[in-house]
Amino acid sequence: MPSFESTEFTYWLLQALCAAFLAILFLQSGLDKVIDWKGNLGWLTGHFAKSPLRGMVPLMLAVITVLEIAAGALSGAGLVALVATGSATLAFWGALLSAVSLVALFFGQRMAKEYAGAGALVPYFLLALAAVFITRLR
């Protein structure tokens, strides 16, 4: 960890906070899908019933579950690496996978014509993009 008085500390702190936020967000969301697979599948089947994606719901749920758990795990590992070694490499990959996951979620919401739900993803996406940028600074 850089010295508290240094500019590097500010970058490090932003990197760590972004990694922590994305780890919590995606691990909770991904693990919820694993724990309540049937409930999520049932809800999403209804959610996509009138969309062109209606026949792909189980596949989409599996893909987004893997993406979310991977994004959360990489972000969590990135936080640990930042604290232990100061390296932001894993946090970068976690942020990048988080952004990809959010694009997939946004696509699904738009296809389901759930425009308010799609709009609610925008702040998370902006944070993920900021995290991608911040974790590359040095």
Cα 40 from Cα 117, distance rounded (Å): 16
Output the CA–CA distances (angstroms, integers) from residue 68 to 21, 26, 96, 103, 112, in the order listed: 13, 5, 11, 12, 20
Regions in the chain scoring below 70 on pLDDT: 138
Cα 74 from Cα 112, distance rounded (Å): 29
CA-closest candidate to residue 77, choices 97, 63, 100: 97
pLDDT of residue 48: 87
